[in-house]
Amino acid sequence: MNHSNSILHLAKQSPTNPQELALALEATQLAVDYYTHHSGNFQILSQEKKDIKISLDIEIEQLVINFLKARSPFPILGEETAQDFLTTNPDYHTLPFLWVLDPIDGTYNFSRNLFPHAFSLALLKDGNPILGVIYDFNSKSTLWGAVGFGSFRGMTPIAVSSCELSQAVLCTGFPNGFSEEELAAWYKEVNQFKKVRMFGSATYSTMLVAEGKADCYLERSINIWDVAAGLALILASGGEVKISKALGAKKSPFQLNVRAGAKSLNLIHQTSP
């Protein structure tokens, strides 16, 4: 039995949606294979404001959507097709089950030949992440897991850390479009931590928290596809997660305020975000 088959065999022992967990792992391998063969040949399609779109994102997303549609009845929300999805699923957060896909999180990093960037796929149940798979293109490894089962880097179990807030490493992103007042509040919050790290990929940041290499992830107005898989892994690794809808006239319906990390930090009982 090779390494991939060993992971699939273990995944099928999960008490939480074992068939979907195995399917997510298979879809991830399909995406990684495509990336491996085509990552050197892509086009930049647009660069609007802070965003960038490349052909490889769209190609991988469509490949995975087609794969999942042929094998699962659950709807699929992908970053590149999100607006089309919203027209037919305006209350997507109420769906009993929902696949959430980001073909390459950290696209700008990838376009500049920087790391990190990662593939992520999650399954939500009643709006809550229950399983996730992340492929880290930097280490060329798969992190996966399900709530109630556990999480793994390959075949090795992983777990969140345990430390006090003053000793914790925070992963976050710099908040674009914030007012001076909002930036001041953000600075006050992140200044509680021992160290702050920004990687340009929320998927990668939540992955680090899930395996205890960082202790906490905080972000305001982050898109659901950027964090869904990582939040599932944090929960599966023994951490805790608080999610709320990002409010405001300019906010996308896909944007969330998120805090997640080690239970020792008591994050979910804090009021902001």
10 Å Cβ neighbour count for 94? 10
Q: What is the residue-averaged pLDDT of the chain?
A: 92
Check residue 1 and give its pLDDT: 36
Q: Which of 97, 109, 69 is nearest to 226 (CA)?
A: 109
Q: Which of 124, 125, 74 is nearest to 227 (CA)?
A: 124
Residue 158, SS3 per DSSP: strand
Given 133, 158, 183, which residue is the final one in a domain? 158
Judgement on whether residues 92 and 14 belong to the same structural domain of the protein:
yes
Check residue 20 and give its pLDDT: 98
Judgement on whether residues 97 and 190 belong to the same structural domain of the protein:
no
| Token couple for 16 | 């939480």
How many folded domains does the chain comprise? 2
Judgement on whether residues 20 and 149 belong to the same structural domain of the protein:
yes
Judgement on whether residues 89 and 24 belong to the same structural domain of the protein:
yes
For residue 235, what are the domain limits? 165-269
Residues 6+ apart with CB under 8 A from 85: 75, 76, 77, 78, 92
Judgement on whether residues 144 and 24 belong to the same structural domain of the protein:
yes
Check residue 246 and give its pLDDT: 86
Say what percent of the chain tops pLDDT 70.
96
Tell me the HSE value of 134 on the side-chain side, using a 13 A CA sphere: 35
Residue 199, SS3 per DSSP: coil
CATH number at residue 59: 3.30.540.10
- What are the pLDDT digits (tens) for 197-251? 999 999 999 999 999 999 999 998 899 999 999 999 999 999 999 999 887 756 7
Judgement on whether residues 170 and 151 belong to the same structural domain of the protein:
no
Judgement on whether residues 176 and 69 belong to the same structural domain of the protein:
no
Judgement on whether residues 207 and 117 belong to the same structural domain of the protein:
no
Structure-model confidence comparison of residues 152 and 188, the more confident one: 152
CATH number at residue 176: 3.40.190.80
Residues 6+ apart with CB under 8 A from 70: none
